[in-house]
Amino acid sequence: MLGQLFVSPIAKGSGIGAALLHLAMADMPDEFWLPCAEANRTVCLFHQAHGLRPERVEPHPVLGHPTANYAWP
């Protein structure tokens, strides 16, 4: 599982997020998981647009909010 992938709000739209995600894909070509708050639709759609697939939704282990887990490949 890839624990977290964050980009500063001021860097949004700069391509840094896509570059980081593609670096993770190249570094872990067989499989990784990336969790995302289900309510964060912008990020969930970003993951899907870059080829990750939603696998399951479960409560966040600490905060309890629904967390979507995205899988690569």
Give rounded-to-5 percent helix, strand, coil for the chain: 35, 25, 40
What is the spatial distance between Cα 26 and Cα 16, in angstroms, rounded to a whole number? Answer: 15
Return the domain boundaries, the chain. Answer: 29-63
pLDDT of amino acid 4: 84
Query: By three-state DSSP, how is residue 62 classified?
Result: coil
Please report the pLDDT score of residue 1 as a whole number: 60
Cis amide prior to 54 (ω within 30 degrees) = no
| pLDDT tens by residue, 9-52 | 899 899 999 999 999 999 999 999 999 999 999 999 999 999 99
